[in-house]
Structure 1
């Protein structure tokens, strides 16, 4: 990039990612402007476009970093380790619900219509690749249970997709009602984890 040293480029990119994380978490993608982002970092609009082709591009980069951080926490806390499918699935779902409910960036993405905006920005092939990556992450810990016959269901992909679908309950928090949502969420997690581990033997 003309005009910047490697260190300056690294610093500006890091600053843009940090500004994006804070502003997107607080205001969402729709209400955050490129001027907001460049103002936080102290650069001009033309400089922004040397790093990202749009605010959606920056948002995707922020989400990629956040996804990697969440994966590290999942691993560091040993959430999906264990030999009891009910316990592992329950712990995984609780972890995901906690991220959605307490992580401002993730909450904006899932509960607001950020996913819809990003779908428009991504090609069908990119969206399918994203979905496949999410399913593979779940299959990494559910496949051994499926192969061992320790869960209900013989199709590994179906099992993983079912596990991944449960956290979308958060989209209906308003429909369920704020007073009832926590107990409904906990009931769904417990019932699903227990039911998935019931093999009928």
Structure 2
């Protein structure tokens, strides 16, 4: 196996991540081969493991990077909300906006099938703490307001499921007239926020 200098390793690693990100978006994890990723940087397939533990670990690392970007933009907006109803609406609007440009996370939020396939092959503790950045803070947010008795009497997982299902409307954006989509989205987000919160 060839030896790489630290500078070479860093350059190759970043290039492999760029190629993998494009492939995962275009074709998904299952249809992207390790050889496709390594050939993009002109190294042998066996050298892949110098840089990443597995294809799934690489996928999760890319999700984690997207998650960090999203967290920085979404949660400050949520924290500025005056009450839980406004906070849910802020979360939905901010997350929907971010999902437009973060396709891997969009896939995670709207369809867990690929994520489940990945998580079966990696350390569960790693996947729970490092890659569900868009889900773990949401669960903490729901638990906090449940403790304040400001959300409906349903399990945390049920409330999170409703919020995630609402975000799935992004994959149906093409099915709604683009002129009315913002109004449809806003009305849906308002309805969900009202339904999940206790009426004062």
The alignment partner of 1:102 has SS state of coil
Please state how far the C-alpha of 1:52 moved relative to its aligned partner. 2.6
Cα distance between partner residues in 2 of 1:189 and 1:146: 19
The alignment partner of 2:29 has SS state of helix
Please state how far the C-alpha of 1:195 moved relative to its aligned partner. 2.5
1:101 and 2:100 are equivalent in the alignment: yes
The equivalences for 1:162-201 within 5 A come to 162-170=162-170, 173=172, 177-179=175-177, 182=181, 183-197=183-197, 199-201=198-200
Q: Deviations over 1:141-171 (max 9, x none)?
A: 3344333333333755544444344223445
Cα distance between partner residues in 2 of 1:39 and 1:119: 27
Q: How many residues align?
A: 194
Report which stretch shifted further, 181-190 or 152-161. 152-161
1:123 and 2:123 are equivalent in the alignment: no
The alignment partner of 2:28 has SS state of helix
Cα distance between partner residues in 2 of 1:157 and 1:116: 17
Partner of 1:40: 40
1:12 and 2:12 are equivalent in the alignment: yes
TM norm structure 1: 0.73
8 Å CA contact 1:146–1:154 kept in 2: the answer is no
Report which stretch shifted further, 54-63 or 22-31. 22-31
Q: 1:63 to 1:200 in 2, by over 3 A?
A: closer
What is the Cα-based RMSD across aligned positions, in Å? Answer: 3.6
8 Å CA contact 1:99–1:106 kept in 2: the answer is no
Cα distance between partner residues in 2 of 1:145 and 1:108: 27
1:83 and 2:82 are equivalent in the alignment: yes
The alignment partner of 2:90 has SS state of helix
Please state how far the C-alpha of 1:126 moved relative to its aligned partner. 2.7
Cα distance between partner residues in 1 of 2:107 and 2:21: 11
TM norm structure 2: 0.73
Cα distance between partner residues in 2 of 1:27 and 1:155: 35
Partner of 1:148: 148
The alignment partner of 2:94 has SS state of helix
Please state how far the C-alpha of 1:90 moved relative to its aligned partner. 0.5
Cα distance between partner residues in 1 of 2:137 and 2:2: 39
Q: 1:104 to 1:56 in 2, by over 3 A?
A: same
Give unmatched runs, 5+ long, in structure 2. none
